[in-house]
Amino acid sequence: MTSAQIEIQLIACIVAVACAIPGTFLVLRKMAMISDAISHSILPGIVIGFFLTEDLNSPWLILLAAFSGILTVVLVEYIQKTGLVKEDTAIGLVFPSLFSIGVILIAKNAGDVHLDVDAVLLGELAFAPFDRMIIGGADMGPKSLWVIGIILLVTLTLLLAFFKELKISTFDKQLAATLGFSPVIMHYGLMTVASVTTVGAFDAVGAILVVALMIAPPAMAYLLTNNLKKMLLIASGFGIIGAILGYWVAHWLDASIAGSITTVLGVLFFLIYMFSPNRGLISVLYRQKRQEVEVHLLTFLLHLQNHSEKSERHINHLNEHINWHKVRAQSVLDLALKNNMITIDDSIISLTEKGKTFTSEAINYIITNKSAAIEEMKDRFFLFRG
Amino acid sequence: MKDKIAIKVDDLTVAYNFKPVLWDVDLSIPEGVLMAIVGPNGAGKSTLIKAMLDIVKPIAGTIEIFGKPYKKQYKEVAYVPQKGSVDWDFPTTALDVVLMGTYGSLGWIKRPGKTEKKEALEALEKVGMLEFRSRQISQLSGGQQQRVFLARALVQKASIYIMDEPFQGVDATTEKAIINILKELRKSGKTVVVVHHDLQTVPEYFDWVTFLNVKKIATGSVKDIFNDDNLTKTYGINYKVSLLQ
Ligand SMILES: Nc1ncnc2c1ncn2[C@@H]1O[C@H](COP(=O)(O)OP(=O)(O)OP(=O)(O)O)[C@@H](O)[C@H]1O
Ligand SMILES: [Mg+2]
């Protein structure tokens, strides 16, 4: 790898982590759309800042642009508070207006400004290493690495200091307020971090990748864990994986780096959405199926316990009386046999001792509404699950 | 006679969208009582509680907690909301939710440590939810969630406990367990305010009661004021205490 390649990947990884942190809270607050809005409506701030400073990495420009990001949030909330439209509508009203102001400003001054809408939206990570930070004649590395590095450092410090406050104000605003933590301060603090990160990252990676990095990795992490700290770590991890993998896909296909990273993130999300062990689509369907069979098994065992007469315990009776399809009757029967809960003698089914204990215990738990106990009991009795 | 006043409400009027839902309510809750607030749906019971906790802003009137405004006294008050105002999909466990009750006394930046965790586990044990401590909160039943929120209030170690219908959707055993915890709190000198719908159990559970229907109808000891007259005034139809049993 050349040093430029390493620098590009380093920048992409740092951007990924800097985005994953505020992104996690945005996703949990169901505010994913607002990051999209911020990423577009910072444009007028960037343009005005650029006219004033002529430097895309100037701290003044970053502050000015971050300010237009916060202005977006304030405007959205103001419109929403009137009660006339919903939040998504308010977002849809605000950010195109601000974005188009930015576009008009650029068009009006296109002649003498090196700044175009494409660059703002898509960025060009490949060029990031060319813009160097020179202090006293010494080369200190790419400028955008410094900018985003400092932003990440500040974000991390804030996260460590205010983790508990962020958590409680996201989980339960009312409790946060009654315990003396101002949810309003936390809200605007988070919005400020999100805006500053977006602005700091846009020059290197473009607005669209910023949104993808803020939303996709936390959304994946959300599907994998029940713990906020782990969610932050996993989200950062996925961000980094997406950044590095995306870089090499771009290298291999000779395509846009930002575009490749976004695509990789999309593919990763799809895989996790399908295969996540707890909340993934496949495991959810599998669990539903299993519980369905197990409920039928219980119904069947209950029936056996309630009826001593042979006619009620004949195999064919399963089809007729309990009214099950052949397939279902067969799978229930198989499951009961595999778990040694029944014996079949001359087409007559009888409960074994184990089957009897299981059934009585299960009834007991069902009556007292102890679903946790039932799951625990299944683990105890079942050799094979449904 | 109870002498110190825990919560004092003066001339309180609250309106939503300019329509008053509480009119000129005066109320003094003595320290150390276990008090029920009763009244029909929409009477403004939850609103009264929220005003006490500074969650809704009144258009007139004042509220004092031990003689000072809520902002200065929030550490003295623990609140169990009617239908958790929480984000149920949040990645957090029952134990974690209870731990959040300790955040108030920790203040800004400081993190909960071993002591707080121990307190949280004890509170979970008290409400009979210890075995569910690592369960994601959305995977608890309604009554179990209610108990977790009670545990969260317990670790706040407040002087005043305010609960909005803690018995809603809770089975008889749990209801008994909760009321025993509340009676224990009163015994240790705490003030407990509970919005309650089951009129039948008022005399058995509570020693103090407030009748509310937009205006305050009556407030005082259950012995003195829990009678046909006040029930009728509050609920509009002819009510008889004797018919409740
Ligand atoms: N956020 C709100 N905006 C507008 N109106 C509200 C709001 N919250 C409550 N109200 C109205 O205020 C009145 C009092 O509501 P409140 O929730 O205090 O009643 P409650 O006595 O707690 O009723 P319940 O027994 O059903 O819980 C009701 O008419 C209700 O419709
Ligand atoms: Mg209510």
Give the pLDDT confidence of A142-151 residue by residue, as tens digits: 888 998 999 9
Give the pLDDT confidence of B36-47 residue by residue, as tens digits: 999 999 899 999
Check CB contact of A314 with chain B, cutoff 8 Å. no
Q: Count of CB atoms within 10 A of residue A340's CB?
A: 14
DSSP state letter for B93: B
Q: Which of residues 10-69 of B touch A (CB under 8 A)?
A: 53-55
pLDDT at B1: 44
Averaged pLDDT score across all residues of chain A: 85
ipTM comes to 0.81
CB of B44 closer than 6 angstroms to any ligand 1 atom: yes
Give the pLDDT confidence of A175-200 residue by residue, as tens digits: 888 888 888 899 999 999 999 998 88
The mean pLDDT value for A22-44 works out to 89
How far, in Å, is the centroid of ligand 2 from the Cα of B82? 6
- Chain B: give the shortest CA distance to residue A220, in Å: 13
Q: Which of residues 83-102 of B touch A (CB under 8 A)?
A: 84-87, 89-93, 97, 100
How far, in Å, is the centroid of ligand 2 from the Cα of B46? 4
In this structure, which residue's CA is closest to atom 13 in ligand 1? B42
Model confidence at A30: pLDDT above 70: yes
Under CATH, to which class is A283-381 assigned? mainly alpha
Q: Which residues of chain B have pLDDT under 70?
A: 1-2, 83-84, 239, 241-245
pLDDT at A213: 95
Ramachandran angles phi, psi of B186, nearest 5°: -60, -40
Note whether B92 contacts A180, CB cutoff 8 Å.
no
Token pair listed for B56: 């809704």
Note whether B91 contacts A225, CB cutoff 8 Å.
yes
| Residue A129, C-beta contacts closer than 8 angstroms, at least 6 positions apart | A3, A4, A7, A8, A142
Instruction: Name the segment(s) of chain A with CATH classification 1.10.10.
Output: 283-381
Report the topology of domain A3-214. ABC transporter involved in vitamin B12 uptake, BtuC (1.10.3470)
Please check whether residue B156 is in contact with residue B97, taking contact to mean a CB–CB distance below 8 angstroms.
Answer: no
Give the pLDDT confidence of A81-139 residue by residue, as tens digits: 888 888 888 888 898 898 888 888 888 876 565 666 676 677 778 778 888 888 888 88
Q: Which of residues 340-379 of A touch B (CB under 8 A)?
A: 369, 371-372
| Residue B197, C-beta contacts closer than 8 angstroms, at least 6 positions apart | B38, B165, B167, B168
The mean pLDDT value for A302-329 works out to 73
pLDDT at A149: 94
pLDDT at A40: 86
pLDDT at A116: 67
Element (H, E) at B46: helix B45-52
Give the pLDDT confidence of A347-378 residue by residue, as tens digits: 788 888 888 888 888 887 777 666 666 777 77
Model confidence at A216: pLDDT above 60: yes
Model confidence at A57: pLDDT above 90: no
The mean pLDDT value for A235-263 works out to 94
Distance CA A323, CA A329 (A): 9
Instruction: Name the segment(s) of chain A with CATH classification 1.10.3470.10.
Output: 3-214
Q: Count of CB atoms within 10 A of residue A271's CB?
A: 12
Q: Count of CB atoms within 10 A of residue B218's CB?
A: 17
Which comes out higher in pLDDT, residue B203 or A386?
A: B203
Q: What angle do CA A258, A59, A151 make, to 5 degrees?
A: 55
How far, in Å, is the centroid of ligand 2 from the Cα of B164? 7
Which comes out higher in pLDDT, residue A10 or A200?
A: A10
Distance CA B143, CA B161 (A): 19
- Chain B: give the shortest CA distance to residue A231, in Å: 8
- Chain B: give the shortest CA distance to residue A172, in Å: 4
DSSP state letter for B34: E
Q: How far is the CA of B14 from the CAs of A248, B48, B60, B99, B210, in angstroms? A: 62, 8, 7, 33, 18
**Mapping DSSP to helix (H, G, I), strand (E, B) and coil, where does residue B101 land?**
coil
pTM, rounded to two decimals? 0.82
**Nearest residue on chain B to A170, judged by CA atoms?**
B87
In this structure, which residue's CA is closest to atom 12 in ligand 1? B21
B77, B109, B150: best to mutate for the A interface, most A CBs within 10 A: B109
Q: Give exposure, A350-377, as e/b (b: 16+ Cβ within 10 Å).
A: ebeeebeebbeebeebeeeeeeebbeeb
Of the candidates A367, A369, A359, A368, the one whose C-alpha atom is nearest the C-alpha of residue A378 is A359
Note whether B136 contacts A226, CB cutoff 8 Å.
yes
